Structure 1
Amino acid sequence: MERNTRQRKAIHTCLEQAGRPLAPQEILDQAQALVPGMGMATVYRNIKSMLEAGEITTVSLPGGGDRYEIAGHGHHHHFHCRACDRVFEVHACPGDMQKLTPDGFVLESHELTLYGLCGACRPM
């Protein structure tokens, strides 16, 4: 059984409140407000154990570092802002991707990442 430490609770709270995938540095920055003095090694140690426990999942971006989000969101995609580097959840899906696969292939899953500028970064 995993220990439910103050640090782990703080990380879980940060991920829940963010409502979007967070990079380890974002987790650290937000968790330090709840547990002053928390270090990056503690964040990585807790991420590892939370992944193993199935509490969180990894969001891997091509050419970018991994982000983490609370598990159990169901099928969804992501939007990556090229200006601020934040990642947001997209709760829509273009649908049946099987039609895009070559003849004779069977699609098992897909991931879609949209790239652009978020509302805070887009020019007005």
Structure 2
Amino acid sequence: MERNTRQRKAIHQCIEDAGRPLSPQELLEHAQGVVPGIGLATIYRNIKSMLEAGEITAVSLPGGGDRYELSGHAHHHHFHCRVCDRVYEVHACPGDMQKLAPEGFVLESHELTLYGLCSACRTIAS
């Protein structure tokens, strides 16, 4: 049981340290530095249990796999770098989206993902 607790803590710490949503592969790469020998199946098992416990939240991107971030964040959006495939949090919102909804419709929520180049990839591309 201690092994699972150590692995789960390592995964949690990886997400916290990154400060951005991570893919299962990114979690594996980071967690292996803390728990050598951890495998992808263990990452997925822990993701499942952490989702069920409400500890993490899935960030779904069209055409891509889910990323995972710690739960409890205030309303925010995401930026997806199309070169390195990393996802970053955007702590801003364009505001009242109800005005974009068709007349007579009631907006209940929204998600916004920006796409482009992160600062590191922009530097490389220049």
TM over 0.5: yes
**Which whole-Å CA distance do the structure 1 matches of 2:74 and 2:49 have between them?**
21
Q: After TM superposition, list the pairs within 5 Å mapping 1:26-105 onto structure 2.
A: 26-105=26-105
Q: What letter is aligned with 1:56?
A: I
Flag the structure with higher helix content.
2
Task: Report the RMSD for the aligned CA atoms in angstroms.
Answer: 1.1
Deviations 1:45-78 (CA, angstroms, capped at 9, x unpaired): 0000000000000000001110000001110000
Letter in 2 for 1:38: I
Identity of aligned residues (%): 81
- Output the CA distance in 1 between the equivalents of 2:91 and 2:73: 9
Distance 1:39 1:4, change over 3 A: closer
- Taking structure 2 as the reference length, the TM-score comes to 0.94
Structure 1: distance between partners of 2:60 and 2:94: 20
What letter matches 1:30 in structure 2?
H
Aligned residues: 122
Give 2:109's aligned residue: 109
Partners of 2:49 and 2:66 in 1: how far apart? Answer: 16
Q: Which runs of 5+ in 1 are unaligned?
A: none
- Structure 2 residue runs of 5 or longer lacking an equivalent are none
**How far apart are 1:111 and its partner, in Å?**
0.2
Q: Equivalent residue for 1:16?
A: 16
* TM-score of the pair, normalised by structure 1: 0.96
